[in-house]
Amino acid sequence: MLEKAEIIRQEYLRHDKSFPHVWCPGCGNGIVMGALLRAIHTLQLEKDEVVLASGIGCSGRMPTYVDFNTIHTTHGRALTFATGIKLAKPELSVITVMGDGDSTAIGGNHFIHAARRNINITAIIINNSTYGMTGGQYSPTTPYGSKSTTSVYGHVEHAFSIAELAVTAGASFVGRGTVYHANQLDHLMAKAVKKRGFAVVEVISNCHVQHGRRNKLGNAVTMINDFKERAVPIQKAVKMAPEELEGKITIGVLADVEKPISSEEYRRVAKSAELKAEQIAKDKDKNGVKRYE
Amino acid sequence: MTSDAQEKRVLLQGNEAIVHGAMAAGCRFFAGYPITPASEISEILSVKLPEAGGTFVQMEDEIASMGAVIGASLAGVKSMTATSGPGFSLMQENLGYACVTEVPCVIVNVMRGGPSTGLPTNPAQGDVQMARWGTHGDHPIVVLAVSSVSDSYTLTIRAFNFSEKYRVPVIILSDEVVAHTRESVILPDMDKIRIVDRVMPSVPPEWYKPYAFNNRSVPDMAPMGEGYRHHVTGLIHDEKGFPTQNPQEIEQFNIRLHDKITKGFKELLITKSFHMDDAEVFVIAYGSVARSALRAVRDAREEGIKAGLLQLVTLFPFPRKAVDTALRQCRAVVVPEMNMGQMSREVARVNQAGCRLIKHRRIDGQLITPDEIFKHLIKA
């Protein structure tokens, strides 16, 4: 294990100007980054072929630290940039990393449309139930009744279930894990990156500094242990009643389906358009008609 | 796109000509969202791009369109989008990102009446200052205005060339009149068109600094996936592309962004002069209004008035020198615009010679007629 960690450190981290990182001690983002790097290492992807795109927030800093083609885009827009990259250069493995507010508030429209469009992109979503970087305001996944810097009297809205949202919107693969279940995360991420089609991994993570502190959830260790207590594997969850699942975190693979990938479908129809245009050009040349294009 | 392309006279609509120009310039990616009066650009490119091995995608909104355009350009493909006022508003966020990360791309804004949903099927020139200052922060940008179908073709090619050469987003301002007018245009022999591509790094990947300083102030640009792994961020960054908080690096970065445009003034500042040699009064106009202005100038000449026209093709960076020279030469200038006077502010700003400035605005969704301008010229 230590040996592998050293390989990952040497091979995948940027050793020039990008450290020290911005994340607080105990932050779950490092666990997510580790899982992603181990997955990429396991899949033996070439670093030149990997694109890691992020939005804004604590999660948005992840690409800075890793030695791929990396892009830190605008808030909520990582998937739009990723779509352009993937369509323009389909041979690249395009992965996005986003936060909960990033992907389902400001970027919510892009998220559901990326799932519907089913382009071959992997979306890692770190869900820590708050806007950590800006100071702990409530996000689309802040639980009902929770305190945040913009809901000091208790939050009155209900939270999104990101993984379920992705399933409904049409993603080919959807997994959910927590930063406690690090080994499972490695597997979920490897499956997602390998998956042909839009693949989502939602990772339940801790922001003990903002969300945890304001809701008396304890320190990083307490919060991460709590994920262990609340996690229910999907195989078990499907047999449970909705009341029993209240407050639980369903983990595992929520969806894994085969369906046409729009980026590949597009190349197929584009190829036929190209061939047709070539044929028309040939015919015109035969008839002595000069054409402009 | 075969090599047998030769000079050809065709009947085209302004929006169609933009498509032809983009294809000739090497554009192979388009992302957009439907909007009047720009939709024809999307529709025609959705047919033409796949025929040439390119990609068309209709995104969920204009924010996404601009993001996809930047992504495709980073992957090494010349990219564009087209929209109108409301969509252009949504694009401002990622347009700023393209400015600060220096990603070449072309944005066509077929102007319609505003503010807000405004007048979707009427012409206007209300987005001029927005094209310059729409995205937040001091940023460099190039804005070109087309006045005819022929312009729509040639300036689209130049827009791509400028964008690639200076690594800057270039905005083409068209309007509903130019977009939907059909005119006969000559499409030149493809071999005679000058196409400029971004400069690729000549150093090995381990030496590559994505935002290095050089004589041109334009860093070499490596596409994703070719071994030159680097970081791209909208944060102010150092030469390696990583975020910086160093005041000196921040200042140097911001200065370079503007320097690269200043260094290109000679080719970037495009104006056209008509009857200006002996002019005593003149018109400054751009876009479709420039055509009414030319007619008005010719009519005034027939009345014995020494009138001229300075047509602004590049709106920003503002062609200060050409305007200043004309202002010093003439006693009066008429600035007709289909807005409340967005360009006349620029003219007033550089008017050191005491030339009398006559603003003419039209904001009823109709094109300014030659007669309206003529009436000013005979009184000036």
Q: How many CB atoms lie within 10 A of CB A33?
A: 25
Q: How confident is the model over B73-121, as pLDDT tens digits?
A: 999 999 999 999 999 999 999 999 999 999 999 999 999 999 999 999 9
Percentage of chain A lying above the pLDDT 90 cut: 91
Q: How far apart are CA A175 and CA A127, in angstroms?
A: 13
- B345-360: burial string, b at 16+ Cβ within 10 Å, e else: ebbeeebeeebebbbb
Q: What is the DSSP string of B28-75?
A: -EEEE---TTTHHHHHHHHHHHHHTT-EEEE-SSHHHHHHHHHHHHHT
Q: For residue B215, give how far its alpha carbon lies from the nearest alpha carbon of chain A (Å).
A: 25
Is the model's pLDDT at A17 over the cut of 50? yes
Q: Which residues contact A29 (CB under 8 A, 6 or more apart)?
A: A23, A58, A59, A61, A62, A126, A205
| Nearest-CA distance B207 → chain A (Å) | 13
Q: How confident is the model at residue A289 (pLDDT cuts 50, 70, 90)?
A: low
In the chain, the amino acid numbered B96 is: G
Does B230 contact A70 at a Cβ distance shorter than 8 Å? yes
Question: Is the N-terminal amide bond of B115 cis, ω within 30° of 0?
Answer: yes
Phi/psi for A132 (5° steps) reads -70, -50
- Best B231, B232, B237, B242 member to test A by mutation, with max A CBs in 10 Å, is B231
Residue B154 has pLDDT above 90, yes or no: yes
CA distance B205 to chain A (A): 11
Please list, in sequence order, all residues whose beta carbon lies within 8 angstroms of the beta carbon of residue A38, skipping any fewer than 6 positions away: A4, A8, A186, A189
Q: Which amino acid is at B320?
A: R
- Buried-exposed string A164-183: b where 16+ CB fall within 10 A, e elsewhere: ebbbebbbbbbbbbbbbbbe
| A-chain residue closest to B64, CA distance | A80
Which residue from B10, B60, B75 is facing A109, i.e. has the nearest CB? B60
For residue B126, give both structure tokens: 């209300």
3-state secondary structure of B183: strand
CB contact A258 to B (< 8 Å): no
A277 part of contact set with chain B, CB < 8 Å: yes
What are the pLDDT digits (tens) for B171-191? Answer: 999 999 999 999 999 999 988
pLDDT value for B141: 97
**Contacts of residue A57, Cβ cutoff 8 Å, sequence gap at least 6:** A75, A99, A101, A102, A131, A132, A133, A134
Three-state SS sequence of B273-326: EECCCCCCEEEEECCCHHHHHHHHHHHHHHCCCCEEEEEECEEECCCHHHHHHH
- Chain B hits for A85, CB-CB cut-off 8 Å, are 71-72, 74-75, 224
- Give the mean pLDDT of A22-49: 97
A chain contacts of residue B72, beta-carbon cutoff 8 Å: 84-85, 87-88
Judged by CB atoms closer than 8 Å, whether chains meet at B94 and A82 is answered as no
Sign of the CA dihedral B357, B363, B369, B372?
negative
Cβ contact (<8 Å) for B240 and A281? no
- Each residue's pLDDT tens digit, A236-264: 999 999 999 999 999 999 999 999 999 99
What band does B4 get if pLDDT is binned at 50, 70 and 90?
very low
Output phi, psi for B367, to 5 deg: -70, 145
Q: How far apart are CA B210 and CA B218, in angstroms?
A: 10
- Is A264 an 8 Å CB contact of chain B? no
Q: Which residue of A has its CA nearest to B62?
A: A80
Please report the pLDDT score of residue B107 as a whole number: 98
| Nearest in space to A175 (alpha carbons), one of A194, A198, A202 | A202
Q: What is the pTM of this model?
A: 0.97
Taking CA atoms, A9 is separated from A66, A67, A212, B215, in Å, by 9, 10, 29, 37
* pLDDT single digits (tens) B216-246: 999 999 999 999 999 999 999 999 999 999 9
Structure tokens at B111: 């102007």
Residue B234 to residue A72, Cβ atoms within 8 A: yes
| Residue B59: predicted pLDDT | 98
Q: What 3-state class would DSSP assign to B234?
A: coil
Residue A137, min C-alpha distance to chain B (Å) = 22
Nearest CB to A88 within list B20, B72, B230: B72
Interchain CB distance below 8 Å, B226 and A48: yes
Nearest CA in chain A to B1: A293
**Element holding A42 (H helix, E strand):** helix A29-42
For A50, name the nearest residue in chain B, comparing CA atoms only: B225
Closest in B97, B227, B231 to A64, CB measured: B231
Tell me how close the Cα of B125 comes to any Cα of chain A, in angstroms: 29
DSSP A60: G
Integer CA distances (angstroms), B76 to A45, A88, B45, B104, B324, in order: 21, 8, 19, 10, 40
Mean pLDDT of B5-33: 95
Using a CB-CB distance cutoff of 8 angstroms, which residues of chain B are in contact with residue A277? Answer: 51-52
Distance between CA atoms of B209 and B300, rounded to whole angstroms? 57
| Contacting residues for A174 by C-beta, under 8 A, at least 6 apart | A163, A166, A167, A199, A200, A201, A202, A253, A254, A255, A256
Chain A, nearest residue to B224 by Cα: A69
Collect all residues of chain A within an 8 Å Cβ-Cβ radius of residue B54. Answer: 270
User: Average pLDDT, whole number, for chain B?
Assistant: 96
**For residue B5, what pLDDT is reported?**
63
CA distance A89 to chain B (A): 6
Residue B349: is its pLDDT beyond 70?
yes
A3 vs A211, residue with greater confidence: A211
Name the residue among B29, B80, B18, B83 with its Cα closest to residue A270.
Answer: B29
Q: What is the pLDDT of residues B292-301, one digit of tens each?
A: 999 999 999 9
* Residue in A with minimal Cα distance to B6: A292
Within an 8 Å CB–CB cutoff, is residue A97 touching chain B? no
Q: CB–CB of A92 and B75 under 8 A?
A: yes
Q: How far apart are CA B59 and CA B91, in angstroms?
A: 12
Contact B142, B170 (CB under 8 A): yes
CB within 8 Å: B229 and A83: no
Give the best residue of B6, B8, B33, B55 to mutate against chain A (max A CB count within 10 A): B55
**Hey, what are A262's tokens?**
């729009």
Q: Is A90 on the interface with B (CB under 8 A)?
A: no
Please tell me which of the candidates A70, A80, A86 has its beta carbon nearest to residue B67.
A80
Closest CA to B63 of A57, A162, A78: A78
**What is the dihedral sign for C-alpha B110, B111, B113, B114?**
positive
Determine how many CB atoms are found less than 10 A away from the CB of residue A271.
Answer: 12
Any chain B CB within 8 A of the CB of A108? no
| pLDDT attached to residue A15 | 87
> Are residues A292 and B47, on separate chains, in Cβ contact within 8 Å?
no
Q: How far is CA A117 from CA A87, A169, A171, B49, in A?
A: 12, 9, 8, 19
Q: Positive or negative, the Cα torsion across B56, B59, B62, B66? A: negative
Residue B1 in this model has a pLDDT that exceeds 60: no
pLDDT for residue B272: 98
Structure tokens at B274: 């008509």
First-to-last C-alpha distance (Å) of chain B: 51
Contact B310, B335 (CB under 8 A): no
β-strand B231-233 against A69-72: which pairing, if any?
Answer: parallel
- Is residue A144 predicted with pLDDT exceeding 80? yes
pLDDT surpassing 80 at residue A287: no
How sure is the predictor about A290, in pLDDT bands with cuts at 50, 70 and 90?
Answer: low
Q: Give me B170's structure tokens.
A: 């270039």
**DSSP conformational letter for A217:** -
Looking at residue B284, its pLDDT comes to 98
* CA gap A31, A275 in Å, rounded: 48
Structure tokens at B278: 């002996």
Which one-letter DSSP state was computed for residue A75? T
Nearest CB to A270; choose among B50, B76, B238: B50
Provide ipTM, 2 decimals.
0.96
Interface list for A 197-226 with B (CB within 8 A)? none
Predicted confidence at residue A285, as pLDDT, reads 73
Residue of B1, B19, B44, B60 to mutate for A, most A C-beta atoms under 10 A? B60
The contacts of residue B23 (CB under 8 Å, 6+ apart) are A293, B1, B48, B49, B52
Inter-chain residue contact A291 with B71, CB threshold 8 Å: no
Q: Pick the more confident residue, B91 or A292.
A: B91
| Strand ranges inside chain A, DSSP E | 50-54, 69-72, 93-99, 121-127, 130-131, 137-138, 173-178, 199-204, 231-233, 249-256
Instruction: Give pLDDT, residue A109.
Output: 98
**A72-126: per-residue pLDDT in tens?**
999 999 999 999 999 999 999 999 999 999 999 999 999 999 999 999 999 999 9
Closest B-chain CA to A70: B231
Q: Which of B20, B73, B225 sits opposite A48 (nearest CB)?
A: B225
- Percent with pLDDT over 70 in chain B: 99
Decide: A207 and A129 in contact? Cβ < 8 Å. yes
Question: Which three-class secondary structure state does DSSP give residue A173?
Answer: strand
Instruction: Give the confidence band of A4 by pLDDT, cuts at 50, 70, 90.
Output: confident
Cβ-Cβ contacts under 8 Å, B51 against chain A? 273-274, 276-277
pLDDT tops 50 at residue B3: no
